[in-house]
Structure 1
Amino acid sequence: MTDSPLAALGAGLPVLAAPMAGGPTTPALVVAAARAGGLGFLPGGYRTAEALAEQIAEVRPTGVGFGVNLFAPNPVPVDPEAFGRYARAVAPDALAHGVDVLAAGVVEDDDQWAEKIELLLSGPVPVVSFTFGVPDAPVVAALRAAGTLVVQTVTSPAEARLAAEAGVDALAVQASAAGGHSGTLTPRHTPEPVPLPDLVAQVRHAVPLPLVAAGGVATPEAVAEALRAGAEAVMVGTALLLADEAGTSRPHRAALSDPAREGTVVTRAFTGRPARALRNGFTDRHTDAAPLGYPALHHLTSPMRKAATAADDAELINLWAGTGYREATAEPAGQILRRLASGL
């Protein structure tokens, strides 16, 4: 990484900590990643601009390099009739925890996009990454002018070309094995299961930008393979879900460690966008019927998921996990990242 823009931020370890929205990525995890020699990203998704500002304020005084990830607007409007049918389908599950989803209307929002961009321009951070959509070129230019390195998540060579045209500095190349949401720009189509090294090589051929590889990386061998394919660093998320500093919920932690869990599934059932999670009762019952519709389905199921989490009910929550989840270990984050880099 000697010639990488990430190296200029002090990231000498080529294993970075991914932004995991919804609780798993904490300021403590971001700081631990940096102190191990890598870099961590605060997740701005599903968080108010004010709450994001508080987390930035918690990390900034430590003096470490860090990033912030935002969900760029790329809405998938839900069909009202399909939304109604789905709400009725999931209503019994929600009522099990006292949540009436039938009383909820369709909520379409942009996750406080303008407010968060203003926050990051008025108080620049070292790195900003984007997922779900590519920001307009003037937004990218403004962030770069403020001294921020701009990274775009892509899932194909075509998306990489769009990001390059927008003027970003680097790309996070995400394979379909990744846990949580796919960063695809076309969520109506689930990305093909291209192995990460192959996807990195394809994107490397398409654009000359620095690449960070992500998706299913859970062993030192996988790290080395992604770097050999042309990435300058890898980004891991699932491997850190059990880390001491992670804010992963108790039922999510228990599910990750449960030998009876039978693999992962890509589902729209929780948010209306494709995302990879451990199979549970909710995914089994609703994956096939879930309509496209983001963020409408996220807002529909969010109260149920929060109530189920509080009740330690892992069958009704989004157990985001990549295909390498069995490799996750409960230990300090820095130890995990250094071990993943041990084969280099």
Structure 2
Amino acid sequence: MVGFLETIGARAPIIQAPMAGAGGPGLAIAAMRGGAVGSLPCALLTPEQLAAQVAEVRAGAVGPLNLNFFCHHVPDPAPDESAWRALLAPYYAEEGVAPGTPPPLRRPFDDALCAAVEAARPEVVSFHFGLPDDALLARVRAAGALVLGNATTRAEMHWLAERGVDAVIAQGSEAGGHAGWFLGDAHAPVPLAELLAEKIAVPVIAAGGITDGADIARTLAAGASAVQLGTAFLAADESSISAPFRVLLGTGVTTQFTNLFSGREAQGIRNRLMRELGPIRTEVPAFPYGSNALALLRAHAEADGRGDYSPLWAGTSVARVRAMGAEALVRRLVEELRAARR
């Protein structure tokens, strides 16, 4: 089972998840030095930024690299944000800020990003929220990359396998960050164990609630070919999360799915905004526009040491994360995996 990632040079059956807001070249380099597949979150990058980050990783580590992209549809015209901004008005007044200029939107995979992939020639390209169109996908394959698709349901697992992905990332309901659902009208969380029980024709990479080597051993024994870890890397020295986010790791916090921070369901630590407004609001503009109105509130609070308006993306295992360098963490995980197998 471990052989799937070994074929591209990984020394461990582990992919470091491409966490926007936490990941970047430093985290990918450290994970690769430990023997895992490193990942870069690319949905917020321009082609030029992508090329620069890939070059930085290649200069810092040897090993397989995964570039992750979103395949969402951007609403056109842009949704009306007035109801959401009105709901946030008391917070603007309290913090003394205005909505301000919207930040750059998350970009769906397109021709320009595909050209950047062709130039970078990563070992792996993974997609969230489905797959790009057939022409773009063919170009990614021609560039020599393994193609991974993210599934949150049995139906999505089969859909991806039927379209010839090299492996399916089974994202259980325990996983932090954006749920990658793309079939059906609503997100319906499915535990990882149920996804692993489904048999498909391609390897399965398990994600969600996996924090230590014993977790990895159990997951591989349940049929996964490898694992993808995100929450476990949040406390790594190389993680770029904010200070108020970092102090919550390893504590007795709870997580919940919410659409408040992007317009689409994602799992994170409950904070003030989620408690006071509730985790799901119909006023939030559709993804990816949902984050616009919170940008300055978030920045203001984080500068004050608070995560009141921040997306604190984390999975259900957040209380068990361990603070250390990502290279040391991967090596520790491999040692624990070997011990659990013995």
Out of 294, 297, 301, the residue aligned to residue 290 of structure 2 is 297
Match of 1:166 in 2: 163
Q: Report the Cα offset of residue 264 of structure 1.
A: 0.6
Q: Which moved more, 1:57-66 or 1:13-22?
A: 57-66
Match of 1:199 in 2: 195
Give the TM-score, by structure 1 length. Answer: 0.89
Name the Cα RMSD after superposition.
2.4
Out of 244, 257, 265, the residue aligned to residue 256 of structure 2 is 265
Q: Report the Cα offset of residue 79 of structure 1.
A: 8.8
1:157 pairs with 2:148: no
Match of 1:282 in 2: 273
1:128 pairs with 2:119: no
Cα contact 2:34–2:331 (8 A) shared by 1: yes
Q: Distance in 1 between matches of 2:295 and 2:83?
A: 17
Deviations 1:251-307 (A, max 9, x none): 110122444x3x111000110110001111011123242446101102232333233
Cα contact 2:79–2:285 (8 A) shared by 1: no
Match of 2:37 in 1: 39
Summarize the Cα distance change of 1:135–1:178 in structure 2 as closer, same or farther, 3 Å threshold. Answer: same
| Residue aligned with 1:255, SS | coil
Q: Report the Cα offset of residue 111 of structure 1.
A: 4.7
Cα contact 1:137–1:167 (8 A) shared by 2: no
| Residue aligned with 2:247, SS | helix
Deviations 1:109-150 (A, max 9, x none): 745733211210233111110112211222222111111111
Summarize the Cα distance change of 1:167–1:79 in structure 2 as closer, same or farther, 3 Å threshold. Answer: same
Amino acid in the other structure paired with 2:83: R
Q: Distance in 2 between matches of 1:252 and 1:112?
A: 29
Match of 1:183 in 2: 180
Amino acid in the other structure paired with 1:140: L
Alignment of 1:1-344 (within 5 A): 1-4=1-4, 6-22=5-21, 24-61=22-59, 62-75=61-74, 80=79, 83-101=81-99, 110-111=107-108, 113-186=110-183, 188-192=185-189, 194-202=190-198, 205=199, 207-259=200-252, 261=253, 263-286=254-277, 287-290=279-282, 291=284, 293-341=286-334, 342=336, 343-344=340-341
Q: Distance in 2 between matches of 1:274 and 1:288?
A: 8
Give the TM-score, by structure 2 length. Answer: 0.89
Amino acid in the other structure paired with 2:63: V
Summarize the Cα distance change of 1:254–1:127 in structure 2 as closer, same or farther, 3 Å threshold. Answer: same
Summarize the Cα distance change of 1:284–1:165 in structure 2 as closer, same or farther, 3 Å threshold. Answer: same
Q: Give the gaps of 5 or more residues in structure 2.
A: none
Cα contact 1:135–1:166 (8 A) shared by 2: no
Q: Distance in 1 between matches of 2:318 and 2:223?
A: 24
Q: Which moved more, 1:163-172 or 1:143-152?
A: 163-172
Summarize the Cα distance change of 1:132–1:299 in structure 2 as closer, same or farther, 3 Å threshold. Answer: farther
